[in-house]
Structure formats: C-alpha cells, structure tokens
Amino acid sequence: MHHPYLPVLLIIVLGGLFAGVFLLASSLIGPKKGTKSKLSPYECGLKPVGNARERLDVKFSLVAMLFILFDIETVFLFPWAVLYRDFIKSGLGLFMAIEMGIFLFILAVGLVYVWRKKALDWR
C-alpha cells in the first residue's frame, strides 16, 4: 500500500543520509591541524585587536529579549490580519477585533513599563 507521505519521508531520509555522508567525508578527508592565523577571529582582513571573548553589557540581552517579544507579536498579528475578513464573514469579526485589541493593549502596557523603567535608555 502506498502512503501519501512516503515521498516526503524518503526525501527527509535521503537528505539526512547525504548530510551525514558529506560530514563524515569532510572529517576524514579534510585537514586536521589549524594554524594560528586560521584559528584567529576574522576582522575584515585586519589583524585582530583585543580579545574576541569580551563580555557584553546586560542591556544588549535586554534589547534582544524585547526584540523577541515584539517579533512574537508580529507572528501572532500577521495571521490574524490575513484571516480577519473570514472572521467578519463568519460573524466573529467584533469578537476577534476585541480579542486582538486586548492582546495589543497588554503588549502596549508592557512597552510603557519598559520605557518608564528606562530599559531603553543607553546612558
């Protein structure tokens, strides 16, 4: 019996096999020893200045977390906007608009909180 997802499974298995074979071949055939210049961090063709493993300020991670938060907002908002016309046709338009309004209000309150705590201030 032919299952409809058998070709997809076959492609996934073959892709994994190809990746495994090429990784194994590169580790067996490739060079084993790196020179000092090959192991140093690349800085646009210039000699590296300072240590590459410096600590970052905590504010960078805070900005990254805020970016992820508002990126997730976009992930939720885009499909809702695409399907909103269908919600209106089915009679759920007002309910879905109120629901998304509550979601955006909660995110706006979070943004105001972050702003008042001066988390976005770099000084």
The 10s digit of each residue's pLDDT in 35-72 is 777 777 776 766 667 776 777 777 778 888 888 988 98
pTM, two decimals, is 0.52
Is 20 exposed, middle or buried, given 0-12, 13-18 or 19+ CB atoms closer than 10 A? exposed
CA distance 95 to 103: 12
Residue 82 has pLDDT above 80, yes or no: yes
pLDDT of 97 reads 93
Within 13 Å and on the Cβ side, how many CA atoms surround 14? 6
Residue 19 has pLDDT above 90, yes or no: yes
pLDDT of 52 reads 64
